[in-house]
A and B are shown apart, each in its own frame.
Chain A
Amino acid sequence: MTSRLKQFVALTGLAVTELFRQPACFLLILCGCAFTVLVPLAVSHQLGQATHLTVDSSLAFELVFGMILAGYAACSTLHNECRSGTILMVFSKPVGRLMYFLAKFAAVSILIAFFIFCSSAASLLAERVTPRNFEFDALGNRLLLATPFIVFLPPAFLNFRKHRAVLPLSLVLFALTLTAWVLILGSVDWEGRRTAFASMIEWRLLPASLLEGMALFMMAAIALSLASRLSTPVTVAILALILMMGLISDHLAMRLSVSSPAQFGFRLFLPDIQAFWPADKLAGDGSITPSLISHAFVYAMAYGIGALSLGYAAFRNRQF
């Protein structure tokens, strides 16, 4: 048992390391968060609606970029290994296919979790620096402007002096920097005066991100299943289609008669992404309740297991 666990950890660890060193994953995480924190600039003229638009946009960016990240990561770690023949070296060791497949899912999930962490922090910051009543959050904007320098200069310096890789360190610095900014801005008001911690941050966004995160884990499961056979562009295109249709799944299902097999099949195979979309639930003073999260969790688990099972069935007998 211990040896299997060690194998699993080794496989997952390698896959995670590889994913974190890829420029594409780095750029996706960075761009998703950058777009989020830039939203307040675009909504600065929307009187009274600015925070609402910021929240909606940041949640949308998290979902879309997370979907692309899941698709890319799944294909990079599974499909490309199959194509290049690297997988042969793994299977020449006493490693079962199921363990390999699950380790890949674990690696993609870790990457998605990291992305959700960064994106949540970015959403909190974006909401915080959104202008209200013509008030400009000088400290917040300055901190955000300083972020690229903090994220890139130290790793660049280390690369220059000691030839260390830039990307992994930049990612870590990025996550730490965003966290630090949330903590700082959570303790000061818009004029820069100290205030009770957590009073200046819209904490409702955290459960919202968590809810979306579950949808992203579902997408990761679908992506990995597709990646067992399909290449990156096709996988991401199918994921995008599933995402779009999942967001309007209720509307689509209503067009079919209630007790028909078609509707049953529809509901079974198409994930109800609408249930994980938190923007409507946050409208006004709404919130994401624990019961909603627990229901969503059960749904995501069940769907994810189903998707992974289908993916493993496709992968299990694949010949290389």
Chain B
Amino acid sequence: MSDSPHLIIEAHDLTKTFLDFWGRPKVHAVKGITLEIRPGEIFGLLGPNGSGKSTTMKMILGLLHPTSGHLSVLGQSPRDVAVKSRMGFMPEESYLYKYLTAVEILTFYANLSGLSGSVRKETVNRMIEQMGLQAARNRPVGEFSKGMARRVGLAQALLNDPDLILLDEPTSGLDPIACREVKDLLLNLADRGKTILICSHHLADMQDLSHRVAILLEGEVCAAGSVKDLLATPDLIRLTLPRPSREKLSAMLDYLERETGFRPGVDHTGRTLESVFIETVSRRRIAS
């Protein structure tokens, strides 16, 4: 099997079994999953706890070694160090050095990514600004709130302008506005050709963001495909129109019932809680 050059991540029959002290299989975390992730798409890995999402992600990152199967990332083995210069990773928890400031942490990771001199400094400053951390740039991250720490985590993932970005629960701990900003950022990155792999339990966010998803259960892929296709109920359609008068509405419904044999349900469309929240807060901020 050859690595397809147009695939960012390619996994065939990927398996990971954790062994106990005696070398016997203890947990079959991933059982023969097959995934193909294309350039420029946002791919969501969904599943209940213990379904193998994090294990899969760690194998892609080269932190765990597959028990069997084939895995290539950006056309190479994930254990190849060079491939990591084109990747960025944001873990579920911000495992940061709590005594260092945001600037120092980002500078450190920029150094590790091979950025040097003025490029490094400029990149770090840009990230700090982009994540809204200017006021706290010189405070130890141990004093940060969870949301601020997450933003540092996201900043370090984007430092080296990676082609592949892996995010584990990227919106966890963020307020709705910050959530929206992160989602917009990710969509923007995808438009620029970056490939993004997200593990998340926030289904609404995944629905907003992802082009394609895979749903894992007990280490296996039980559903995969584009979000649109997965969500579509092909036998039903929805019409949206300005509200007619009662008589006209009744006539329309009668007609449809005669033609289709099915009387449609009528419902008012509404906004989402997220949009109400954002509108309210933004209006308030502008006013003040």
Binding site for B on A (CB under 8 A): 159-160, 163
Contact = CB atoms under 8 A, between A and B. Distances in A.
Contacts of B21: 159
A163 B20 CA distance: 9
A62 B185 CA distance: 61
B22 interface: yes
Interface of B: 20-22
Contacts of A163: 20
A83 to B, nearest CB: 10
Contacts of B22: 160
User: Which secondary structure dominates chain A's binding surface?
Assistant: helix
Nearest to B20: A163
Nearest to B24: A160
Contacts of B20: 163
Nearest to A160: B22
A27 B21 CA distance: 18
B43 to A, nearest CB: 33
Nearest to A166: B21
A156 to B, nearest CB: 9
A159 B26 CA distance: 13
Nearest to A159: B21
Q: Which 3 A-B pairs have the closest CB atoms?
A: A160-B22, A159-B21, A163-B20
B48 to A, nearest CB: 23
A159 B20 CA distance: 10
A111 B21 CA distance: 27
A163 B24 CA distance: 11
B98 to A, nearest CB: 10
3 contacts: A159-B21, A160-B22, A163-B20
A303 to B, nearest CB: 35
A89 to B, nearest CB: 17
Nearest to A163: B20
Nearest to B21: A159
Nearest to B22: A160
A160 B22 CA distance: 7
A160 B20 CA distance: 9
Contacts of A160: 22
B100 to A, nearest CB: 17
A163 B22 CA distance: 10
A30 B70 CA distance: 45
Nearest to B26: A163
A160 B23 CA distance: 10
A163 B27 CA distance: 13
A130 B51 CA distance: 59
A157 to B, nearest CB: 11
B45 to A, nearest CB: 27
Contacts of A159: 21
A63 B21 CA distance: 34
A288 to B, nearest CB: 44
A90 B243 CA distance: 55
B24 to A, nearest CB: 9
